[in-house]
Amino acid sequence: MIQEASQSDQFKEQMQGSLFNETKNSSPIKIGKHDHVYTPGDERETVYFIEKGQIKLVMASSEGKECMLAIHGPGDVFGELCLSGLGGRLETATAMEDSFLKEIPCTKFLDRLAQDSLLEGFIKYLAVRVADQQAVIANLVTVDSEQRLGTTLLQIARKFGKKDPRSIRIEVKISHEELGTMVGTTRPRVSVFMQRFRNLDLIEYNTEHHLIIKEKKLTAYLTSIL
């Protein structure tokens, strides 16, 4: 697990360097809080690189319901799915706070990766993505909502957590509503479980709205309620 993280981090750094070169002449785009980077159907085939901010990817079903697929932070790349060549975005990308992005046309993106011999690295990166998504799917299918919420929290913590001294980890701001759309349950339900986790001292709300997740305790609890 650890060496894997460092490996993929390594590629991420290389890719960041590569993209930095590619975009150093263009100026970043500012996206205000709650504004969209793109919406379903948009044909613009570009990849985005986050310099600063938070971007969430949400997919809407034919009725009104939504599903939050991911949250991306500084240094992340998103919108790479236009590489699939099937044209037209499937999800909505929205800024969760004022953000600054660099935009790279999808063909340029590939060319640059090729030039810098990063194609294989990118394949590895995509393979990790596929594996992660498989885990999400298996989770949605096999376990109940409390468990799903727990594992989702752990995933987010691992992605965004600054390693706090006491083996605890800190967070970004995500509403219960949003958690609901990741986990596949309703907001009240999320509230109840979050409360339960809090009472059991598996998570905490920091003085200022930051979620603290006690990775070990939470993991232990989740396996205990199988």
Partner DNA sequence: GGACAATTGTTCAATATCGAACAGCGCCGC
Partner DNA sequence: GCGGCGCTGTTCGATATTGAACAATTGTCC
Report the interface residues with its own copies, using CB under 8 A: 1, 4, 7, 59, 61-63, 65-67, 69, 80-81, 83-87, 90-91, 110, 114, 119-120, 122-124, 126-131, 133-143, 181-184, 223, 226
Report the partner that residue 207 touches, choosing among its own copies, DNA, none (CB closer than 5 to 8 A by kind): none
Judged by CB under 7 A, the residue of 99, 151, 181, 185 near DNA is: 185
Find the angle CA(186)-CA(190)-CA(192) to the nearest 5 degrees.
120
User: Other C-beta atoms within 10 Å of 67: how many?
Assistant: 15
Q: Taking the chain, what is the end-to-end CA distance rounded to the nearest angstrom?
A: 23
Residues 143-182 contacting DNA, CB under 7 A: 144-146, 175-177
DSSP per-residue letters across 103-172: EEEHHHHHHHHHHTT-HHHHHHHHHHHHHHHHHHHHHHHHS-HHHHHHHHHHHHHHHH--B-TTS-B---
Which of residues 70 and 194 has its CB atom nearest to its own copies in the complex? Answer: 70
Q: 67 or 212: whose CB is closer to its own copies?
A: 67
Q: Name the residues that contact DNA, by CB under 7 A.
A: 144-146, 175-177, 184-189, 191-192, 194-195, 198, 205, 208-209
